[in-house]
Amino acid sequence: MKTILGVVLGLGAIAIAAIAVSKSKKKVPMESETVNGNLKMSDVVGYFKTLQLVKGKNVPFVARASRFKDVINTNSAKPQSLVLGVFNQESDELNPVKVIYCDGFDEKLLEVLGNEDLVVLN
């Protein structure tokens, strides 16, 4: 399975999520999942493929959960957590958002995250 994604890193990506969270005075609706073992990049890609995203309207991203500590519960027995989300540029909202608690990340996911807290996927 081809899992290569175009990745846009940096302040623009962080600004998208930060703006969405700050504009939303309410809690962002989210689901959560616990994974035993390492979360794999192929699982992340598989999740986004299940969504009907519209290019130019929906901006998918992954973020370390610590980036959203004010709006999500990061208290878990698992040492790592990752937010999978979609920023809707028309409504300035994050939806859907999924938090995955896991033991760690596979090599490909670590490569995509690099030193960034948030990465926008194309």
- SS3 readout for the chain: CCCCCCEECCHHHHHHHHHHHHHCCCCCCCEEEECCCEECHHHHHHHHHHCCCCCCCEEEEEEEHHHHCCCCCCCCCCCEEEEEEEEECCCCEEEEEEEEEECEECHHHHHHHCCCCEEEEC
User: How do the pLDDT tens digits run along the chain, 122 residues long?
Assistant: 333 343 443 345 445 555 555 455 556 678 889 999 999 999 999 999 999 999 989 999 999 888 777 766 666 778 899 999 998 888 888 888 899 999 999 999 999 999 998 899 87
pTM of the model: 0.77
